[in-house]
Amino acid sequence: MDDAAALSGAADTEPATAARRVFIKTFGCQMNVYDSERMSEALAAEGYVETADAADADLAILNTCHIREKAAEKVYSDLGRLRDIKRERAAAGKRTLIAVAGCVAQAEGEEMVRRAPAVDLVLGPQSYHRLPDLLGRLRNGERALVETTFPDEDKFQALPERSPARSVAAFLTVQEGCDKFCTFCVVPYTRGMEYSRPVVALVEEARRLVQRGVRDITLLGQNVNGYHGEGPGGEATTLAGLIRALAAIEGLLRIRYTTSHPRDMSDDLIQAHGDEAKLMPYLHLPFQSGSDRVLAAMNRKHTAAEYTDLIGRIRTARPDIALSTDIIVGFPGETDADFEATLSLVRELRFAHAFSFKYSPRPGTPASTMDGQVPDDIKRDRLALLQTVIDEGYVRFNGAQVGRRLPVLFEKPGRHAGQLVGRSPYLQLVHADADPAHVGRIVDVEIRAAGANSLSGVICGQT
């Protein structure tokens, strides 16, 4: 048997009625988490049950992320492990299918099966509804299928209805793709042009989630505040309009959204932060760099002063809003002075939270071939310093909650007996001793302590 034949595994001899097991590993952003859930639901309709053990799986799916090199490379090391499992299972007469989904699949396509011949299926993010059909073809003996076109049909419509909620909080993808073309970013290439789902479909999906116990929905999109979906009467609807339509759903208690671009932070959305009670006071708004020169080279289409002014307007509408951001260090040409500008913006704007990254050149993006690539040791030092400043802000923000009463939406039992864990309006994890009947409800908690990653307190009225 040649190597490729060994990798394709044994014939599919299991009876069609036996439950097949699927292992799904998700990398990267929340949109991938949502997509993995929808794939799992599509597969459940085909008789698959999920397993957390890859060695036990008839089908292993890696739902991948291409945003930085490290994330993409991780996929290949996982594929090495899956290849070994596939061999071992084949020796025991069991067939294993390996599928790669997500943005690495989209970006690498055919290349992926060449580099990792154990892979049976390469599936781009727009094709998940084709999964059952493609698996059928693989079982019928076809090999190394690659499905990375951008079909114009609506994959969301073709996916089956949502299955029972796993949690009080759920994601809902409302928009996909991005037309912004920041020069460092692969998203416009891997996820394609912006597409917004229609309002009616989203209200319907949200309603079903609420019927199944969901109370907190985070609206997802690569550029979510650029949302411009079709409204019930055919009119273009903004994200603020969508949020107001969703807020009318009885039983839905909290709405959040991520990720946004400063240029699309429209006045009606800012206003919604001021007057829509279900819209939570938390906003993730990446600024990437505090230097105007770097921002221009990144094609961000805003300056540091414009970003600061925008934050001022948002804080006027909702003074207690918690802000989070994304920052890149070591973009090509970034000098010490540029980096200092980033540090001072972080200090000035008092973020509750921030994600920081070393610039990672991505194939096919304009920045990857720019002059002035920054050496890795400088990137590393800048990242370490930036993270210290970010952590100071994080500790300050969490510490400021001690002594306050926060409405906490309880999600599940905590680690200790009698304890529940939930979220504050500002997305902080909160632990408190509470009756399990409080899961799915908002209860006032007096915050007594702030730890490294969470708050703890007591339910008001209890001591």
Looking at residues 255 to 314 of the shown chain, list those that interact with ligand 5AD (rule: CB under 6 A): 286, 288
210 binds, among ligand 5AD, ligand SF4, none (CB under 5 to 8 A by kind): none
How far are the Cα atoms of 28, 264, 442 from residue 217, in angstroms, in the given order? Answer: 19, 21, 14
In sequence order, which residues have a C-beta less than 8 Å from that of residue 426 and are 6 or more positions away? 280, 281, 282, 322, 352, 397, 401, 406
Nearest to 441 by CA among 418, 415, 410, 413: 410
Q: Which does 178 bind (CB under 5 to 8 A by kind): ligand SF4, ligand 5AD, none?
A: ligand SF4
Enter the DSSP assignment of 165.
P
Residue closer to ligand 5AD by CB (options 103, 246) is 103
Q: How many CA atoms lie within 13 A of 88 on its CB side?
A: 10
Binding window for ligand SF4 (CB under 6 A); candidates: 2-10, 181-189, 197-205, 304-312 = 181-189
Residue 385 CB, nearest approach to ligand 5AD (Å)? 17
Candidates 25, 180, 293, 350: give the one binding ligand SF4 (CB under 6 A).
180
* 237 CB-contact burial (10 Å; exposed 0-12 / middle 13-18 / buried 19+): buried
> Which one of 11, 142, 151, 181 is in contact with ligand SF4 (CB under 6 A)?
181
Q: Is 330 left (phi over 0), alpha (psi -120 to 50) or beta?
A: left
Q: How far apart are CA 268 and CA 280, in angstroms?
A: 15
Q: By the 8 A CB rule, do 199 and 242 touch?
A: yes
Binding piece for ligand 5AD, criterion CB under 6 A, among 132-140, 154-162, 261-269, 354-362? 354-362
Which window, 17-25, 30-38, 183-191, 362-370, contacts ligand SF4 (CB under 6 A)?
183-191
Smaller CB separation from ligand SF4, 299 or 454: 299
Which 237-276 positions form the footprint of ligand SF4 (CB under 6 A)? 261
Cβ of 167: how many Cβ atoms within 10 Å? 14
Contacting residue, 103, 187, 272, 390, with ligand SF4 by CB under 6 A = 187
- Identify the helix (H) or strand (E) that includes residue 26: strand 20-26
Q: Applying CB under 6 A, which of residues 23, 156, 171, 184 lies at the interface with ligand 5AD? A: 184
Q: Which residues pair with 422 in a beta bridge?
A: 410, 430
Chosen from ligand SF4, ligand 5AD, none, partner binding at 222 (C-beta under 5 to 8 Å by type): ligand SF4
Task: Give least dist CB 171 to ligand 5AD, A.
Answer: 16
Chain residues that interact with ligand 5AD, rule: CB under 6 A: 67-68, 184-185, 286, 288, 326, 328, 357, 359-360, 362
